[in-house]
Amino acid sequence: MQEDQIYRKCIACNQLTPRSQLVKITKNKTTGEIKINPDSKFFGRSAYICKNDECINNAFKKGKLFKILHISQDDTLKEKIRAVLAK
């Protein structure tokens, strides 16, 4: 591990990975809005997921992502994450 990189843990596979290689999903503290890969001015509860289908699918199993972000189940969120990765 390089000292100058910031590492975060994927909620699906529990691997420490450089933050730049993960998808960040954040629930805004005040509005409750869910944002994928927000800028640094967006504060709230966050979760990180590896940029692969297996981890994305595992993050949605048993509502893991929804529990971490303290939100109700949203079936469109998985498609939104995949759309961001496809870009």
Predicted structure pTM score: 0.84
What is the reported pLDDT for 11?
A: 95
CA distance 84 to 15: 21
Q: What is the pLDDT of residues 7-25, one digit of tens each?
A: 999 999 999 999 989 999 9
What single-letter DSSP state applies at residue 11?
A: T
Q: In a 3-state reduction of DSSP, which class is residue 9?
A: strand
pLDDT for residue 87 is more than 70 = no
What is the reported pLDDT for 46?
A: 92
CA distance 61 to 74: 13
